[in-house]
Structure formats: structure tokens, C-alpha cells
Amino acid sequence: MLGQSSAFQRLREQLRRYAECDIQVLIEGETGTGKELAAREIHYASARSGRPFVPVNCGALPDNLIENELFGHERGAYTDARCAQPGLIDHARGGTLFLDEVDTLSSKAQVTLLRFLENNEYRPVGGGLARVSNARVIAATNSCLEEEVAAGRFRRDLQYRLNALNVRMPPLRERDGDVPLLAEHFLDVTARRLEGRSKQWSGDAMRILCAHAWPGNVRELENVVLRAYMQADGDVIEAFAVAELVDGASAPVGEPAHGDDRFGYHAARHHAIHVFERGYLLGLMERTQGNVTAAARLSGTERRQLGKLLKKHGIDTRRFRTQS
């Protein structure tokens, strides 16, 4: 996990505290915020670090085999069960069982999990004697479980069991100053991964990265960095290349795909205006250190209209004031 913003530092401190106790943790956050990384941070900072960390995608657990997947089975439990097979809970013995996308569990699976969490006891399929697990359970979801409960899609009692301790992963747009750090890091990682030469961001390219809202969070940033590295011919990644990637365009302005209406005159014109507006606003904010009133005066624009443009392009003026 990498970051220097105050929101990120608060998160790291919370994870360290939670690592010191052996209680269930629920991690909530948008897609791409690094929920599994946070779970691993808790595990590897705890006394369990020498034992297994077992991640489970709850959405991939077949409903008719949920008990077999979690608890395993004994020999002869069903046809073709020629030998005993441990379940995921056994694999996590002494360590951590990470239940990702826990909100996707079916009603039957929720009951099965609740029964286990009540006393940490389970029986393998076909087994007579109950066993006790000492695995710590950490769950994660990109939904709000409280809303899922209110909608009748998730059991209230299971939410209480999972939510003994709670972590909220801050989205990237709330982590002021972390985008440049992560963008540089991913660029270095990409160069090593592809065994290519080192590259760097131009100043304008970095400003565009910092101004983007990143709805896909860190995962989206990582993907954009990879694509930007692959598309850049030289050692410097320029602003126009980044603008095309974060705006979701699939072809450069001036190079329309033949026969594709999306890259006709009107689409190209719209995209060019969009790129120009963003670049102009970023430069304006840098010159005025995020002062919207001063920027409106300098650009000869009404302050209200300028505010709408800044909101349209997802530009947070506080970032420029912080840098001043």
C-alpha cells in the first residue's frame, strides 16, 4: 500500500490497530480502492503473519457446494469422495480467511456462514464430530451492507457478526496528493514488468492525472498508466495521450477510425474542445493557486460559469491551494 495523504495515513494507522486484536473486520469501499491489500496489511502486521492468508471470492462459491468449499468433506461423503478433502477454513488454520464480495452470498450461504461465526464450529460434509476453527475472518464488500440489509438482501445478524470492526477505504479522489506518487510508482513497475526503458510524465500530463475523478480508483489509475506507457513512443508521456485515456477515447484526435461515426467531424471536434477546456482550466488553476475568483477575473469569465466548468472536468481547486 502506497500513499502520503492524510486520509491514507489515517487508514494505515487504523489497520495497524486492528492488526493487534483478533476480531472480525468488515472492509467497505468502492471497486479498485484496495480492499484485499488492506486485509493483507492487517494479516501481515498481526501475530498471524506466519500462517496462511486465504482469499475467497464469495461470488464464485457455488450455492450447492458452499459447505463443501468452506468446511471440506470426509471420505465417502458423496459419490467420488474417495478421500477426505479439507475446506477453505482448514486451509486458513491459524491464519486469516478473507471473504471478498461477501454481499454476493446467497441466502443459504449467509445462513451457513452465520452458523459458523456464532461459535467458530463446523462439520465437514459427511463428518460426525464438530471441529473448531481458529482462523480470523475478514470480509469485504463494495456495497453498503446497511443498505443491503434494509433492502432485505443481507441478514442483519450476519452483518453484526462481520462488522465487529469496520474499515472504510477512501476513494482515490479523497486522497489529495497520492495520484502523483502512485502514477510514478506504477510507471516504474510497468517498465520493470515489461523490461522496457524508463519513462516519465510531462508536467501537463501529470496535471491531467491529478484532475481526473478516478471512478475506478487505484485500479483504474494502474490501467491508465500501463496504456500510457505502451502508447508513448518517446521517454516522455505527453498530456494529449493521457487526456485520451482518461476521457475514454479510443482513438487520437485527427486520426479517426475509417467508417466509425464516433470519430467523425463532430465527435473529433467535441473531443478536441474537451481536451482544450481541461488543459486551459488546469493551467488557470495553477497560475491562480486554486483561487476561483482570481481565475474568473484573469480569464474574463463569470465566476459561476467557471465553477460549472471546473465541476464538469472534475477539477478539485483545493489541490492547487495545497501545493501553493
pLDDT value of residue 121: 87
pLDDT value of residue 237: 92
pLDDT band at 254 (very low <50, low <70, confident <90, very high): very low
The average pLDDT across 305-311 equals 85
For the chain, give the number of residues.
324
Cα–Cα separations (whole angstroms), residue 196 to 201, 226, 231, 235 = 16, 12, 13, 11
CA-closest candidate to residue 143, choices 125, 126, 159: 159
The average pLDDT across 282-287 equals 85
Task: Kindly state the DSSP code that residue 125 receives in the 8-state scheme.
Answer: B
pLDDT band at 260 (very low <50, low <70, confident <90, very high): very low
CA-closest candidate to residue 133, choices 84, 163, 85, 97: 97
Domains and CATH numbers, the chain: 6-170 (3.40.50.300), 178-323 (1.10.8.60)
As beta bridge partners, residue 122 has 131
Grid coordinates representing 38 are 488492506
The average pLDDT across 294-300 equals 87
Cα–Cα distance measured from residue 297 to residue 313, given in angstroms and rounded to the nearest whole number: 20
pTM for the structure as a whole: 0.71
pLDDT value of residue 247: 65
The model's pLDDT over 79-128, given as tens digits with 9 standing for 90+, comes to 565 666 778 898 999 999 999 999 999 888 899 899 889 888 887 777 76
Query: For the chain, where are the alpha helices, taking DSSP H only?
Result: 6-19, 35-44, 66-71, 88-91, 107-119, 145-150, 156-162, 178-193, 203-211, 217-231, 239-246, 265-288, 292-299, 303-312, 318-323
> What is the CA angle 103-108-109, rounded to 5?
50
Instruction: Work out the number of other CB atoms within 10 angstroms of the CB of residue 68.
Output: 19
Q: Would the pLDDT of 18 be above 70?
A: yes
Instruction: Work out the number of other CB atoms within 10 angstroms of the CB of residue 57.
Output: 13
Cα–Cα distance measured from residue 286 to residue 301, given in angstroms and rounded to the nearest whole number: 17
The model's pLDDT over 138-173, given as tens digits with 9 standing for 90+, comes to 999 998 889 899 999 999 999 999 999 999 999 999
For 58-80, give the secondary structure using H, E and C.
HHHCCHHHHHHHHHEECCCCCCC
pLDDT band at 129 (very low <50, low <70, confident <90, very high): confident
pLDDT value of residue 252: 35
φ/ψ region of 175 (left if φ > 0, alpha if ψ in -120 to 50, else beta) reads: beta
The model's pLDDT over 32-65, given as tens digits with 9 standing for 90+, comes to 999 999 999 999 999 999 999 999 998 888 777 7
Higher pLDDT, 26 or 131: 26
4 Cβ partners below 8 Å, 6+ apart?
177, 178, 181
User: What is the per-residue burial (b if ≥16 Cβ within 10 Å, else e) of 154-176?
Assistant: bbeebbebbeebebebbbbeebb
Give the residue carrying C-alpha cell 432485505. Answer: 152
Cα–Cα distance measured from residue 46 to residue 320, given in angstroms and rounded to the nearest whole number: 38
Percent of the chain with pLDDT over 90: 46
- Secondary structure class of 320 (helix, strand, coil): helix
Grid coordinates representing 178 are 497520492
The model's pLDDT over 183-233, given as tens digits with 9 standing for 90+, comes to 999 999 999 999 999 999 999 889 889 888 898 999 999 999 999 999 888
pLDDT band at 29 (very low <50, low <70, confident <90, very high): very high
- Secondary structure class of 31 (helix, strand, coil): coil
The model's pLDDT over 240-252, given as tens digits with 9 standing for 90+, comes to 888 888 864 333 3
The average pLDDT across 297-301 equals 85
